[in-house]
Structure 1
Amino acid sequence: EKEISDRQMVYDFKDGRSFEAVAQMTAANMQEQYGESCKNIVFIQVPASTSSKNELRYKVFL
């Protein structure tokens, strides 16, 4: 059940939905793992197939 939910979140993210939830999860996980040193990390996204999909996926990360 969780695997299906996680997979759906990935599909939604790739389609330009769920980007805010993914951004918040990423930030929380990085903060938990790296703490205050997280401020010194450069986060680089994997580009999407088109510039419009790229913007949809990553606009919240900027």
Structure 2
Amino acid sequence: MIAAKEFGDTDFAKMDPMTVSLPHPEALTALLSGKTEINSRFTSLPFQYVEAKAPGIHRVLN
């Protein structure tokens, strides 16, 4: 809905090529390793607590 609001109803999927779906444990490992293309993600408890304590990780939105 946010993409449709920003880019218009016809371009609601504009960001899809830049996204990948991973299970939370795999995404956490990828983000913390710093050795993949993954540099941001949306998460849930308890994974956000682990990420919040990791060096080099900062919250962009809540």
For the superposition of Structure 1 and Structure 2, which TM-score range results when normalised by the shorter chain? under 0.3
Whose helix proportion is higher, 1 or 2?
1
Between 1 and 2, higher relative CO (CA 8 Å, sep ≥ 6) is seen in 1
Whichever of the two has the greater Rg, that structure is: 2
TM-score, length-normalised on structure 2? 0.26
TM-score, length-normalised on structure 1? 0.26
